[in-house]
Amino acid sequence: MTLKQGIKPEDLYELKSVADPQVSPDGTEVVYVQTHIDEKKKDYVSNLFYINLDDKKTQQWTFGEDKTHSPVWSPDGSKIAFVSSRNGKPQIFVLSKTGGEAKQVTNCKNGATSPTWSPCGEKIAFSVQLGKDENIDDKVENNQKEDKELKPLVIDKMKHKSDGAGFMDMEQFSQIAIVHLASGELELLTEGKHNLQLGTWSPDGKYLSYIADLTEDLDFSFICDIYLLDLETKHGRKLTDGSGVFYQTSWSPNSRFIAYVGNEREFENATQPKLWIYDLDNDNQICVTSEFDAPVGDFAIGDFLQGVVPPRLQWLEDNKSFYFQLTDHGNTSIYFGNLSGELYPAIHDDQYVYGFSLDAKNDRAVVAISTTTNPGDLFYVNLNTGEKEQLTTVNEEFLQTRALSVPEAIEFEGADGWKVNGWMMKPIGYEEGEKYPLILEIHGGPHAMYANSYFNEFQILAAKGFAVLYTNPRGSHGYGQKFVDAVRGDYGGNDYNDLMAAVDYALEQYDFIDQKRLGVTGGSYGGFMTNWIVGQTNRFKAAVTQRSISNWISFYGVSDIGYYFNDWQIQAGLDDIEKLWQHSPLKYVDNVETPLLILHGEKDYRCPIEQAEQLFIALKHRKKETKFVRFPEANHELSRSGKPTLRINRLEYIRDWFVDYL
């Protein structure tokens, strides 16, 4: 009998993602986005797929070789609007359910996104970027030659770059517009020198919600407020009070209530988001989850799924009940709530719910679920009974040819006696009595969470004979506000102690681990922590640091978030260089004895590559064992959504470093 092999880096070309399910208004059909990597193009391709929920048959609805996403049903269920980059810039298209060619309804110079149907079905609101002297009617010109002339970039704002987006056009702002479908006429609804993020259309047709920070000096403003745009007067009405970050609006069917998610930044970016509902009749808001010690939304971290769209709260027809997503103890779940204050889990298994769309008439939903051994599929779920029927099996045939390691959930005592959760994976081909090397994986954020979901990198390491340990140390979301806040001002303190306690626990509980062959790796905050660990202990025999931080002093000025992230997280600025240096791994570089592989993207603006350069030069200057790999054109998202060939290269470098040294 031939043993199945485990997952390999190049298997990315075989695996598919399904995401963003959208149930039709009558609850009988669903459209979703399926993404794969085209091996010839070496790029992502996404298309719309359709399932009739009566016969459960799947049909492919679009067939382009580009990115198609953001499907949304017309109110009568006869059409789908979506965004596609098939003609270059992303534009909005409308496809009839009866078939035929999709009709392009925008041709905006800088593209159009976020389609939102009017309740009458005759108009679509959308987001559009407009630069200085640009008009909503400016079109994409065919065969337009790019201006090759180099020009200086003039910067007068601290917020002038963003990871993934690069340097910002200081004269370009996101506005809200409408396309009238019958005539094709475009109507610009907003203007000015602020970015407005389109939300949702009220069912009575009177308002469009949007999110904005209208503060004059945005460099020192970190708020997002909810506004209602009165479509008759074109005036904006501010709902929230400028005290925090609010987003993701959702209207009750009678347009009386608008729900949204957010927080008042009591713990800066470590504050758990809550669920809020505004009553337009009585002009007041309530926090629905004020007594609930878990964050609303999705804080799970992964490295595989494409096209995931955070689901909004979704209302039932009674105008007082709803379902929403919540992150809790290694899972993301769907909770039921109502205006009377009831809150309880509708779907709360050991899994990652990364999307859902409600059939409000029948209390059912199409739910996107990943587990530790299923990258992700769609399920038809009865929200009253919990019964579910699998609708897609996009990776089943391929995974039948592969062996997967099944993670075992663990709980151990971390620093100060706090309970910490995690998982242990045995290597593929595990045999009783054999000894295996162990790799500790550390997530980024730090305010994120490893979940009961599929993690491609971990499976690749298990396939090469490594045990894999991954945990949610303090700072992680999903374990309460005190837990997530505990890392601030203490980077390299009890978070480090939690991780060392995890390794100690694994060595005590699992006699198959060879304590002389320990490895450690992580990205972003996990890269910081990898750097920190090798400067504090020599118990690890190999380490890989990814998109990391080594020096908080320089990070302050080079990161797109540095000047405020340092204040929030290290709780020090340039007026306290000593504290910034105390928490910088670079300070401890003399102590490093662990062979360290440094991986970094050239266009990472979140943790800029100079952080890796400093670390590499300091190590080489001291004749330490290290290697530095630079990924061209790659930003901070390399491991998750980077260029496929570079994602595969990255996985190979990590695997091979540990194979060589462990």
pLDDT band at 161 (very low <50, low <70, confident <90, very high): very high
Amino acid identity, position 33: V
* Token pair for 96: 């009839």
Residue 100's pLDDT is what?
86
pLDDT above 50 (res 587):
yes
pLDDT tens-digit map of 173-193: 999 999 999 999 999 999 999
Residue 146's pLDDT is what?
55
pLDDT tens-digit map of 482-532: 999 999 999 999 999 999 999 999 999 999 999 999 999 999 999 999 999
Closest among 569, 568, 403, 428 to 493, alpha carbons compared? 569
Residue 472 located in a structural domain? yes
pLDDT band at 142 (very low <50, low <70, confident <90, very high): low
Residue 64's pLDDT is what?
85
Say how many residues make up the chain. Answer: 662
Closest among 89, 95, 86, 155 to 124, alpha carbons compared? 95
CA distance 522 to 468: 12
Catalytic pick from 252, 600, 636, 639?
636
Residue 408 located in a structural domain? yes
Average pLDDT over residues 624-636: 98
The answer to whether the Cα torsion of 314, 366, 369, 346 is positive or negative is positive
pLDDT above 50 (res 78):
yes
Active site residue 524: yes
Residue 71 located in a structural domain? no
Q: Which domain holds residue 568?
A: 399-661
pLDDT above 70 (res 145):
no
Amino acid identity, position 255: S
Average pLDDT over residues 351-359: 97
Q: In the chain, count of helices (H) and strands (E)?
A: 11, 38
DSSP state of 579: H
Q: Are strands 436-442 and 513-523 parallel, antiparallel or unpaired?
A: parallel
Residue 3's pLDDT is what?
76
- Number of domain units in the chain: 1
Residue 270's pLDDT is what?
97
Average pLDDT over residues 587-600: 98
Residue 106 located in a structural domain? no
- What is the CATH number for 492? 3.40.50.1820
Catalytic pick from 524, 550, 559, 584?
524
pLDDT band at 603 (very low <50, low <70, confident <90, very high): very high
Residue 83 located in a structural domain? no
- List CB contacts of 431: < 8 A, sequence separation 6 or more: none
Closest among 65, 61, 67 to 22, alpha carbons compared? 61
Closest among 21, 20, 127, 25 to 74, alpha carbons compared? 25
Residue 146 located in a structural domain? no
Share of the chain above pLDDT 70, in %: 99
580 three-class SS: helix
Residue 483 located in a structural domain? yes
Active site residue 70: no
pLDDT above 80 (res 1):
no
199 three-class SS: strand
Q: Are strands 626-631 and 596-601 parallel, antiparallel or unpaired?
A: parallel
pLDDT above 80 (res 2):
no
Average pLDDT over residues 431-454: 98
Average pLDDT over residues 41-48: 95
Buried b (16+ CB within 10 A) or exposed e, 276-314: bbbebeeeebeebbeebebbbbbbbbbbbbbbbbebbbb
Average pLDDT over residues 381-385: 94
Question: Against a cut of 0.95, is the pTM above it?
Answer: yes
CA distance 335 to 525: 30
Residue 416's pLDDT is what?
96
pLDDT above 60 (res 108):
yes
- Say which residue the tokens 């504290």 belong to: 579
Rg for the chain (alpha carbons), in Å?
A: 25
Average pLDDT over residues 355-359: 97
Which phi-psi region, left, alpha or beta, contains residue 474 (left: φ > 0; alpha: ψ -120 to 50)? beta
Residue 566 located in a structural domain? yes
Q: What average pLDDT does the structure give for the chain?
A: 96
Average pLDDT over residues 581-598: 98
